[in-house]
Amino acid sequence: MFPLNQWYAAGFAWELQDKPLARTLLNHPIVMFRTDSGEVAALEDRCCHRSVPLSCGSLDGGGIRCGYHGLLYAPSGLCIEIPGQLKIPGKARVGAYPAMLRNEVIWIWFGDQPGSEPSGPPPEVAAHDNPRYRYKGGAFHYKAPYQLIHDNLLDLSHVGYVHGKTIGGNPKVHMAAPTTVSGEGEQVRVVRWMKASQPPATYTAAWPFKGLVDRWQEIDFHVSHLNIFTGAVDAGSDALDDPQRGGFHMRGFHGITPETDTSSHYFWTMASCAHPDQPDNAELVYRQTELTFEEDRVLIEAQYRNMLQFGDATMIDIHVDAGANRARRIIAAQIALRTPAAAPGME
């Protein structure tokens, strides 16, 4: 059971090359490809003839051809050609999911009723098109439920302990950082400030700070993704509540999409700005971020294995859990809206 009537991240534009892209999303095997017009199509990954995955086939004329007997499907899911047979049965079609590209992210709409239409456009990742930033990203596969990743991202107090070689810093400073948790509707916002703190390794490698820094972490949770704005300025040089503040910026996109009940996709990018004296920091920031997220993956998968091993063992909450707990309540409320008969929407 997952929240529906949502756009979920499914990958990136650069993954759509000259062959089909297959992924399981929300327990549904899906195949994606580009149409002749450059749009993205997303179909049920199953030929209606003998159930061979369409992702085993090839792209042909803006559609996808089954690799078993050659049935050709349009982006709508309709079969438009059966080699050696003129008449195409009316039932020769597969399910199609609403899909769009925005800011180089592939989004797929999962509705709560068959044929449901998106309620609006996919989320915007504005940093991808902001000339102030350069960005790069990738994908991780987690052998763990998606909400454990939400918990991790909404509680950045852990970075001093888990990410000491990259974005960490003094663990006690992180745990004691002034934190505000707010939000309305389906959103949660967590803001943390760490003034006059020692800059972490990634920051000093990417930006020529003069000494201590004033550091911020702004986390915006949405049901299907998070946007996290982190960075620092030289201590006392700028107001942390000024939207136009300078310094070193890292704007992360985190598309957290369930694969199954017990596994997840994590589609991420990191956009950063560069100092005139260090203009070529984008690759460094990308590599440091990739290392950081791999550390999270290893820890969260170990956490989930332990949760299975210990079964219903009680877990306590502490002060850093406020944001994650609020997000869990939002998701629980979304799932509670569904009826047992509801199914993910297809065109």
Residue 342's pLDDT band (cuts 50, 70, 90): very low
How far is Cα 263 from Cα 301, in angstroms, rounded to an integer? Answer: 10
Over the chain, what is the mean pLDDT? 95
- The verdict on residue 194 lying in a domain is yes
Q: Do residues 252 and 270 touch, judged by C-beta distance below 8 A?
A: yes
User: Going by DSSP bridges, is the β-strand pair 79-81/72-73 parallel, antiparallel, or unpaired?
Assistant: antiparallel
**Dihedral class, residue 260 (left if φ above 0, else alpha if ψ from -120 to 50, else beta):** beta
Helix (H, G, I), strand (E, B) or coil at 138: strand
Hey, what are 3's tokens?
């929240």
CATH number at residue 163: 3.90.380.10
Which of 82, 110, 138 is where one domain is finished?
110
Tens-place pLDDT, residues 41-65: 999 999 999 999 999 999 999 999 9
Q: Does residue 93 sit in the same domain as residue 159?
A: no
CATH number at residue 20: 2.102.10.10
Q: Could you tell me the end-to-end alpha-carbon distance of the chain, in angstroms, rounded to an integer?
A: 20
- The verdict on residue 70 lying in a domain is yes
Q: Report which DSSP code applies to 159.
A: H
Tens-place pLDDT, residues 190-245: 999 999 999 999 999 999 999 999 999 999 999 999 999 999 999 999 999 999 99
C-alpha 70: how far from its chain's center? 34
Q: Do residues 264 and 240 touch, judged by C-beta distance below 8 A?
A: no
Which one has a higher pLDDT value, 303 or 115? 303
Q: Does residue 86 sit in the same domain as residue 10?
A: yes
Q: Does residue 185 sit in the same domain as residue 297?
A: yes
Q: Do residues 58 and 71 touch, judged by C-beta distance below 8 A?
A: no
Hey, what are 53's tokens?
């995955």
Q: Does residue 174 sit in the same domain as residue 78?
A: no
Domain that holds residue 48: 6-110
The predicted pLDDT at position 202 comes to 95
- pTM, two decimals, is 0.94
DSSP string, 192-261: EEEEEEPPPHHHHHHS---S-EEEEEEEEEETTEEEEEEEEEETTSS-TT-TT--SEEEEEEEEEEEEET
The predicted pLDDT at position 141 comes to 98
Tens-place pLDDT, residues 131-146: 999 999 999 999 999 9
